[in-house]
């Protein structure tokens, strides 16, 4: 069983691989990310919420659990890692869709009358 931190990192890696896959979808490819570049991305984009050393340790633990592979300084999800990533996605997608819908669209269009009350502080 992976810890929350490890699931978070596994999800970040899976999301990165998915984003790169979409970007290069017209070409046959296998996506792997340089370990240092992935950690730099996680740190600079404030996605990790952890120190660099903690990221390295969690990546090592994920490798021991055979969720990721580390070959030639590159990270990629294993079959087990892809399954875990899909499980996490399936769990959080309903929550994310609520956030995306409410932030991307005018929420008033979903109600027949105004139901929110605004108070001045």
Winning range, highest mean pLDDT, from 16-25, 34-43, 59-68, 112-121: 59-68
User: CA-to-CA distance for 8 and 85, rounded, in angstroms?
Assistant: 9
| Residue 85 in tokens | 């990533």
Tens digit of each residue's pLDDT (9 = 90 or more) over 74-104: 999 999 999 999 999 999 999 988 888 777 7
- 108 has pLDDT over 80: no
* pTM of the complete model: 0.76
Give me the domains of the chain, ranges plus CATH numbers.
Answer: 4-86 (1.10.10)
How many Å from the N-terminal Cα to the C-terminal Cα in the chain?
46
Helix (H, G, I), strand (E, B) or coil at 70: strand
User: CA-to-CA distance for 52 and 39, rounded, in angstroms?
Assistant: 7
Tens digit of each residue's pLDDT (9 = 90 or more) over 8-49: 899 999 998 888 877 777 766 667 788 998 888 888 888 777
């Amino acid at each position: 069983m992976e810890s929350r931190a490890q699931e978070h990192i596994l999800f970040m890696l899976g999301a990165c691989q998915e984003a790169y896959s979409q970007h290069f979808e017209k070409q046959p490819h296998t996506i792997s990310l340089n370990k240092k570049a992935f950690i730099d991305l996680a740190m600079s984009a404030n996605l990790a919420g952890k120190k660099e050393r903690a990221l390295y340790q969690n990546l090592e633990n994920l490798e021991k659990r055979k969720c990721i592979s580390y070959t030639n300084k590159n990270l990629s999800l294993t079959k087990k890692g892809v399954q875990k990533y899909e499980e996490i996605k399936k769990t959080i997608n309903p929550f994310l869709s609520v956030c995306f819908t409410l932030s991307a669209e005018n929420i008033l269009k979903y109600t027949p009358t105004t139901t929110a009350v605004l108070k001045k502080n």
